[in-house]
Amino acid sequence: MAISKIEWTESTWNPITGCTKVSPGCKHCYAERMAKRLRAMGQANYVNGFELTLHEHMLERPLQWKKPQQIFVNSMSDLFHQDVPLEYILRVFDVMRRASWHQFQVLTKRSQRLMELSDEIEWPDNVWMGVSVETSAYLYRIDHLRATGAKIKFLSLEPLLGPLPNMNLTSIDWAIVGGESGPGARPIKKEWVIDIRDQCFLGRVPFFFKQWGGVQKKKNGRELDGRFYDELPITSSLHPAFA
């Protein structure tokens, strides 16, 4: 089990590593930097660096973790990458279905493929399916997500690189917002965050503010107007409901 420092999850599971860039949010990919570092350290799962790699020996790992937890799936890749075979995707979903005591969080930028494959997937109740949206040019990903059979649908509006006015939040169960962090981090504006928070409030969508980001992520913190926003999907069986 890999304990995660990501604020909105508890641990990570990577039956796939490696990816390719598809949109502006990928420019300063943290996973790419980490994969290169792990390869240099001799970590066996990263001998290919950031090239897409399937790790069958990792597939059933969550079944060995008996303590119920939130698990971010493929924090170092994208399950719906075009080079991941459908058969392998279905095997990942089978493990998540069998590990029913966990909550799994899956996030993709390949919303078109997600939508196209949705009917092939038997969607378990314990899988939260999300899409990343970094600018208004990618709002269509929300429509693709809405068209899937996922029981819980969420948005990762991170790294937020522009305003996202007038989002259609119908059938969306959760929204995460965060600024970019690390070397070369692009700025986030408070008015973008406030507008999204207000849209979520009006749409009764739980809102989670992850970070302001920047090169000094910890110093900049994650308070918004003097408070922390840590809301989670109200259908979560592991956590209290947030109104």
Domain count, the chain: 2
The C-alpha angle 1, 231, 72, rounded to 5 degrees, equals 25
Residue 129 lies in a domain: no
pLDDT tens figures, 46-60: 999 999 999 999 999
Residue 206 lies in a domain: yes
User: Burial, 164: exposed, middle or buried (Cβ in 10 Å; 0-12, 13-18, 19+)?
Assistant: buried
Residue 125 lies in a domain: no
Which pLDDT band, with edges at 50, 70 and 90, does 227 fall under?
Answer: very high
Residue 58 lies in a domain: yes
Residue 238 has pLDDT above 50, yes or no: no
> Is 88 in the same domain as 164?
no
Residue 243 lies in a domain: no
What proportion of the chain, given as a percentage, has pLDDT over 70?
A: 96
pLDDT tens figures, 103-133: 999 999 999 999 999 999 999 999 999 999 9
Q: How far apart are CA 17 and CA 19, in angstroms?
A: 7
Residue 235 has pLDDT above 70, yes or no: no
The tokens describing 97, both together, are: 């279905």
The tokens describing 136, both together, are: 């208004």
**Residue 105, CB-side half-sphere exposure with 13 Å CA sphere:** 25
101: left (phi over 0), alpha (psi -120 to 50) or beta: alpha
> Is 43 in the same domain as 83?
yes
Question: pLDDT value at position 86?
Answer: 98
pTM of the model: 0.94
**Residue 192 domain boundaries:** 137-237
